[in-house]
Structures are given as structure tokens and as C-alpha cells.
Structure 1
């Protein structure tokens, strides 16, 4: 296993090195003069930015002071997102580059042909003038000889304006500039979307066993808040304010609340104490809680007024609400236990399961769950990451049916790593349960 890990790490580092070399070449090497200040600055950035990215990725796991994690996180993680979209934009530019090279060449060829035609016409006119001169007598003493005009026309191109930067340099700068605008613009807009806060989605889910009395019951689902070195207390407050404005009957926090310890992030989580709903707020662990001290976080959210469901179930008016630990808890002997959470319940009652990862849907189906609420995928977070997420998850975002069980997956309210979302906007979903008897 250790050998496999080393080989994968070496392959990833080699890929990153190759991508950085390519980006440097297209944005710096092809567009700047050797020894210029711009080339020196670009080369320094090409070495410094990947080091900051590695530092942002490993500082938390290495136990670095929280202030250092925050210092590295912003430039390091933003550069990873920028690297992705700069590379994609430059690859598109590879297809455009040959076209741009040909267009000026054709224009230049057309200009040369026009100049040649003008020279031929001038030569013809000069020859005709010489013939007329011979017929009418000698020219005045100050008139040029008959052959002179031809010589002047032949030398005319030499007096044309000097040629500007080479076509290759022009194309390199045009493509590189367009790629930089597209890449950094995409990252900027995606960062704004995260820092602005999640938008509210509303989904109606009919449940066959739900009684008429519970028709219209509203559950505010929030997942993947990811408090950490970048997203802090202000981010939590935006989420709490957004949830409270929806006036839900119940709040479900379905994992990946944090990326860090209670010591570092406890103050950032404090606004959760102001969540309000008729039946309270419930919490289940995600995989990132097990990287951050899950037991301590379960105790802390309980102190904030949330109700952790650790492989447990509670009865709500009209249905059973159950929650299971995340799969990552298996490494600590605290993995999901569906029999404990659902095994002895009355299956004539409707049931809603909180489970961080969508991949446990088969267990939910086997235990007769009517609706599973999950997160984890972020909807892919950074396009085209959604295609990768589809390989590992049965549903990446939205509502789908698996037999008699429905699965709803939220895109999440925060972001992991780069505080950027592209093609997968963050959300808080109000799931409204509908009774078929209503």
C-alpha cells in the first residue's frame, strides 16, 4: 500500500510539474524577452505559486499553526483553481493559434501582390514615356533618363514602413492574454459566488407513507459548509441567516461542517447556535469531521444546540428521522450502522435518512428508507469536476429515485480547497415533503 501511495504521489507531482512548465512557457516564455523584468517575475511566480499550493494542502494535516494555514490558504488554493482554468484556456488557444498565424500571412501576401502590380504598372508607364520621348525629340536637360523610373519603382519596397513584432510573438501574446483573461476571470467569478453565500433551492418530494398531517413539512438541508482557514465565522453567519429566513420545520446539517479542530474553528461555528426551527436542527458527520476530531466536534455541536444523530433515530410528527455516521468513521470503529439506526423501526411509517455520502443508497434501499438526504459531492465544484464526481457517486446533485427510495444530493453551502465554484453553485435546499393522501 505504501508503494502504491508513493507511486501515485510521484505521478501527481510529475503531472503538476509538467502543467506548470506548459503554463510558464505559453504565458511567460513565448511572450517575453530573455532577461526582461517580466520574464524574471513570471519565472519567480512559476516557482513560488506551486510551493504555496503544496503548503496550503499539507499545512493543516501537518499541524501547522492556524495563522500559517490561513496565510498559505488564500494564494495557494486560489492558484490551484487558476492553474486549472488557465490550462484549459491555453489548450483551447492551441487550436486557435494556427488560424491566427495564417490570417496575417494572407494579408501580407495580398499586400505584396498589390505592390508588385503597382510596380509593373509604373514600369509600363515609364517605358511608354520613353517611347514617346524618342518620337518627339530629346527630353529637356533636367529630365531623368528613360530607364530611371524603372529603377525607382524597383527600389520602392525598401522605403516602406519597418516591419513590427514578429507574427509568432503577436499570436503568442494574443492567445496568452486571452487565456489569462478567461482563466482569472472564471476564478474571480467563482470566488465571488462562494463568498456571496449559498442560494436557496426548493424541492417537493412526495412520500407514499407520509400522513396527511405531515403534508408540507419543510426540511432545510445544508451540507459541506467547510469552515476552515478561508471560510470562517462570516460564512457561517450568512448560512444561518439564509436558513432562518426560510422558516423551516426542521434543519438537517448533513456533514463536512469543518476542516480543522474545535480549538481553531470553534468561534467560527458559534453562529450555528442561532439556528431556529420548530423541530430543531440535526447533525450527522461527514468524512472531513474524521480528519478534524469527530468526537470533539460532535460534542461541540451538541453544545451549540444541534442534535447529533450517531447511527440513531428520532420520531418526528408523521415520519422517522434517522442519521448514520460517515463511512470515514470506519477507520475509528465509528462507521455507519444501518441496523442500529433503522433495524427495529415500524416500516409502515415514512422515513427520512441523513447520510453524508450518496454511495450508501443501497443500504438505505435495503432498510426501506423513503428519502435519503446527502451532500459530499459539491456538484463537482469546479467544472469539469462534475464528470469525475459522476464516476464515484450514484447521484452528483439533485433528486433521483432508486427503487422505492428517493435520494436528494445537495451541492453544499461552502467549498473545499479553492474557495471557488464553477458550474456548481452552492445551495441550501428546502425539501418540502408531500403526502399523497392530501
Structure 2
């Protein structure tokens, strides 16, 4: 299969990153041929594994595929942190050297040249500092990924919301990515924390899994313990499509969690209602030749005078949805970048990358997600559990 632009970016980063690690941690620190050859073979092998990881996961049986995912993504995170640590040290040294060059020249006795052993010692010291910094980043990022997500509470004003539903709360679970890393213990704790927020409704906005129902169904079954007055609802994400969307929709149905696949339902009681609208993933269906996002179908038959809340995995098409009468769109997908430097670059890809935005009287909230994808780390974008409180 042809590589996507994102896969090509990862492949380029893997090649350049490993070349940088080899130069800084091997070539500059030892002149011995044996260690250099061994290091080159190991780093070259890991480069190939990172580039071919998706192909290997598709073609290998599930158990070996899980091993490839665990090893490749764990090393990807560690290697990234090592590169960041080394780059930080090198940048600091460059700034110091530049400062020395810019200082006024002072007549002084010429200093003796630095001997080879001293240079090697300095290289080893800076490499050791970079390794410590990179290791610290990796440890913190891993801890942050697996600890409880932050609770973000946002009040959203919807003028068309009936007064009887003022204060209606929606807890959003998104981008769980249940798989080799995230399993039942993580899910049980997440469900416990979601229930503690006492939601009126739970919205599960896609990328729930990275794997099949037979393999992960027992972990996802924890979602059956969610408690909300008006229930829990699911919409598909791109990873759910590649994991077998139809099977997962059926599995969630067996847990009492209906899926909104380009349709809407009415939420409320005799005192007042609003429409909860759900759409399939923006890209997932098209990539696999299946039906996907269809806002027109989802809105068919609804009264535009009623308030509408849209569940959509990706923060795409928001302005169109707003102009079609959607008062609030709840999305995820971006992870807020998840790892530096993507946290600083994600805004180049998405106009609404993380947080609360408005277009006219309509709102969108884009969650950073509860779990993670790829490297089991979060740096600069902590996971979050979102509680949206609707008010008229």
C-alpha cells in the first residue's frame, strides 16, 4: 500500500533521527570499529521496524503484531526524547559559542589547544547530560500518559436550549485507543472518574480501539458500567473503521451503548428536548471504500428550532455544521498534538486543534483525548476528561 503523507513524515523522521543519534551517541564518543558497527546495525534495524510497522501489524498474526506495536512505539517515544535532549544540549552549546564570538575581543595570552582526551571527556559529559534529559522526558511522558486525565469543565451557552435542561452535562470520552498499551485497568479507572462527574449524558467520540472485538472486547466492556441519566452514545473514528466498525457498533450495542451513524435522536423529557446528532468519521469510510460522514443524512427530519449537539470524531466541517443549525460540536482526533514538537505544529493542520472555539453563535470543543496513540507518552498535551455544561 502507498504511504500516506503522515507515514512518509514518520519515515523521514525515523531516518534523520537515528542518523543524529548515531552521530552524537556513537561516532562522537568512540573510535572503535566494533561498537560503531553494532550500533549502526541496531539503529538501522529499528529504523526499518518503525517504517514498516503498519505493514507488519497488518500481515503478522495478532500476538506478534502486538509485540511489534509495543516495541516500535515504545522505542519511537524513547528515541524522540533522546533526540530532544541532545538537540537541547546542542542548542545550548551553540548559544554559548555564539555569545563568546559576539563578545568584544580582549587581548590575552593565547590558550593552549584543547587535547583530544579533554574533547572526548567533554563530548561524553554533554552526551550523558543529554541522555539524562531525554530519559527524564521519556519517564515523565510515560507517567503522564498512563495517569488519570485532567478534568476540564466548560460552560456552553445555547440560547435554544429549553430552560428545563439548563445545566445539562455531557461528559466526553474520546481517543481511548484501547489496545496493547491501554487495557481493562485503565478503562475501569476512566469509567470510575467519568461516573464521579455525574453526567446527564456520555459522548464517546471515536478512536475507541486499535484492534478487533475478539481481542479487545473484554477491555471495552468496562464502558458498560458508565452511568448517565440519558445514557451513553458512540460515534466512529478513523481507527474504529480500520478495527472493524460494524463489529464494534454491534459490541457496544450489546453493552447498551447505541451508535449514532449519520442520524439523530431526541434527548430530554416532557419539559423540553434537544437533538443529539452523530456522524461517522470524516475520513475513515472513504479510505476503506465504505460509507462515512454524511451530515445531510444526520440532520434529515429534525426541527431547526430545537437545539442541536453534534458528535463528530474529527473537528472537520464545523463551520458548515454551524451554518446548518448545529449549536455545539464535540470532537477529538487531534490529541492536541500529544508530543512536542507536534503540540506546536498541530495548529498548522487543524484550525480547531484543541479547546473551545466559536463560529457565530455556535461552539466546538476539541478534546485532547483520554488515551494516546503511537508512543505511550504525552509531552505538552496532557490527557483530559471533558465535562460540558449546557446553559440557556
For the aligned pair, the TM-score class normalised by the smaller chain equals: 0.7 to 0.9
- Does the 8 Å contact 1:324/1:354 carry over to 2? yes
Please say if 1:290 is aligned against 2:241.
Answer: yes
Q: Return the offset for 1:190.
A: 0.9
Note the alpha carbon deviations across 1:207-229, whole angstroms, 9 max, x for none. Answer: 11112111111100110000112
Secondary structure at the residue paired with 2:301?
coil
Distance in 2 of aligned mates of 1:55 and 1:172: 33
Distance in 1 of aligned mates of 2:222 and 2:8: 42
- Does the 8 Å contact 2:175/2:205 carry over to 1? yes
TM-score by length of 1: 0.79
Q: Return the offset for 1:55.
A: 5.6
Find 2:145's aligned residue among 175, 194, 198.
194
Secondary structure at the residue paired with 1:21?
helix
Q: Return the offset for 1:94.
A: 2.8
Find 1:380's aligned residue among 337, 348, 355.
337
Distance in 1 of aligned mates of 2:291 and 2:349: 22
Tell me the C-alpha RMSD between the 2 structures: 2.9
Secondary structure at the residue paired with 2:389?
strand
- Does the 8 Å contact 2:173/2:203 carry over to 1? yes
Q: Return the offset for 1:298.
A: 0.7
- Does the 8 Å contact 1:101/1:171 carry over to 2? no
Q: Residues 159-238 of structure 1 correspond to what in structure 2 (within 5 A)?
A: 166-238=117-189
Note the alpha carbon deviations across 1:310-354, whole angstroms, 9 max, x for none. Answer: 111111123111101112223434212222211321121111010
Q: Return the offset for 1:235.
A: 1.9
In the alignment, which residue of structure 1 is the partner of 2:377? 420
Distance in 2 of aligned mates of 1:400 and 1:6: 29
Unaligned runs of 5+ in 2: 100-107
Between 1:339-348 and 1:164-173, the stretch displaced more is 164-173
Distance in 1 of aligned mates of 2:116 and 2:304: 77
In the alignment, which residue of structure 1 is the partner of 2:274? 319
Note the alpha carbon deviations across 1:281-319, whole angstroms, 9 max, x for none. Answer: 000000111111111111111111111111111111231
Unaligned runs of 5+ in 1: 104-111, 116-162
- Does the 8 Å contact 1:258/1:288 carry over to 2? yes
| Higher percent of residues as helix | 1
Secondary structure at the residue paired with 1:359?
coil
- Does the 8 Å contact 2:58/2:65 carry over to 1? no
Please say if 1:25 is aligned against 2:23.
Answer: yes
Find 1:329's aligned residue among 262, 278, 285.
285
User: Quick one: structure 1 residues 200 and 54, their matched pair in 2 at CA, closer, same or farther if it must change by over 3 Å?
Assistant: same
User: Quick one: structure 1 residues 11 and 395, their matched pair in 2 at CA, closer, same or farther if it must change by over 3 Å?
Assistant: closer
TM-score by length of 2: 0.88
Secondary structure at the residue paired with 1:428?
strand
Q: Which has the larger radius of gyration?
A: 1
Q: Residues 29-428 of structure 1 correspond to what in structure 2 (within 5 A)?
A: 29-35=27-33, 42-54=39-51, 56-62=53-59, 64-97=60-93, 166-317=117-268, 318-327=273-282, 328-330=284-286, 331-428=288-385
Secondary structure at the residue paired with 1:411?
coil
Distance in 1 of aligned mates of 2:382 and 2:6: 31
Secondary structure at the residue paired with 1:429?
strand
